[in-house]
Amino acid sequence: MPNFAANLTLLFTELPFLERFEAAAKADFTAVEFLFPYAFAVEDIKRELDTHGLKLVLHNLPPGDWDAGERGIACLPDRVQEFRAGVATAIRYAQGLGVGQLHCLAGKAPAGVAGDVLRQTFVSNLRYAAAELGAAGLRLLIEPINTYDIPGYYLNRTQQALDILDEVGADNAFVQYDIYHAQRMEGELGTTIKNNLQRIGHIQLADNPGRNEPGTGEINYAWLFKHLDAIGYTGWIGCEYKPATTTLAGLGWREQLTA
């Protein structure tokens, strides 16, 4: 059976953030992930993880001004120093919280900047981040995100991510494969995961359309979970979906689709 981690950015959102850890543990999750820890003290988050026996499997590098619509700054040539400062902050949190991998949001491609400049900036920033994370014993992840949910996002497809990682050339850099985003952009989920299993460091899920629980849309999750077991995926799967009603009301999919 797959190892599921509750994404506390989207699940249990009826509760204040620091109360979601207890709710996740009571719902039989043994691990959690979330977008960003930076609004809270390391000590406060660590206390919740330890109190409720939870493992943190993922959080993101700082994204720029999220509330203003920014979705990462790694491809932005005028924000390199800010990006590097964010890497240092993320490592400090990661070491305090015991998480072993961090996701780097690529960002939206700004108008008027040549494609080769964006790629050079992204690759250079990833090399820097991979080196800094590697020195701290951490893995770096990059995730293709669909352009319907985030128009203009720089990184959209699995092969694009693999090509960029080839150019980065870091042995601690991997793909974060989000099933929902991949379904919207390219399909071929089972084959793509199998063919690139050794380069996928983390998997996330939601169904399509709607980005709701598995079993609410077109993706055959019962088959896909068996497939992940069969090909030997042993990592965590982050539940990064929007509950159709409430988190607890929708959790029946775990038993229904993994039997």
Q: Is the pLDDT of residue 98 over 90?
A: yes
Is residue 33 flagged as an active site residue?
no
Give the integer Cα–Cα distance in Å for 190 and 158. Answer: 13
Confidence bin at 51 (pLDDT 50/70/90)? very high
Domain boundaries, position 9: 3-258
From the list 33, 48, 213, 240, the catalytic residue is 240
Domain count, the chain: 1
Phi, psi of 64 (to 5 degrees): 85, -150
Cβ(160)–Cβ(119) below 8 Å? no
Catalytic one among 33, 48, 143, 213?
143
> Residue 40 carries which DSSP code?
S
Check if 143 is active-site.
yes
The residue whose two tokens read 């159709």 is 244
Which CATH number belongs to the domain containing residue 95 in this structure?
3.20.20.150
* Mean pLDDT confidence for 121-134: 98
* Helix axis angle, 42-51 to 80-97, nearest 10°: 40
How far is the CA of 48 from the CAs of 17, 42, 95, 142, 147, in angstroms?
10, 10, 16, 27, 35
Radius of gyration for the alpha carbons in the chain, expressed in angstroms and rounded: 18
User: Looking at residues 9-35, what average pLDDT do you find?
Assistant: 98
**For residue 2, what pLDDT is reported?**
87
Mean pLDDT of the chain: 98
Distances (CA, A) of 40 to 6, 37, 46, 61, 219: 19, 6, 10, 14, 35
Segment 1-24 shows an average pLDDT of 96
Query: How far is it, in rounded angstroms, from Cα 39 to Cα 55?
Result: 19
Q: Which residue has the tokens 């979970």?
A: 225
Residue whose tokens read 């700054």:
73
Model confidence at 1, in pLDDT bands (50, 70, 90)? Answer: confident
Residue showing tokens 């490592």: 91
Q: Taking a C-beta distance cutoff of 8 angstroms, is the pair 233, 193 a contact?
A: yes
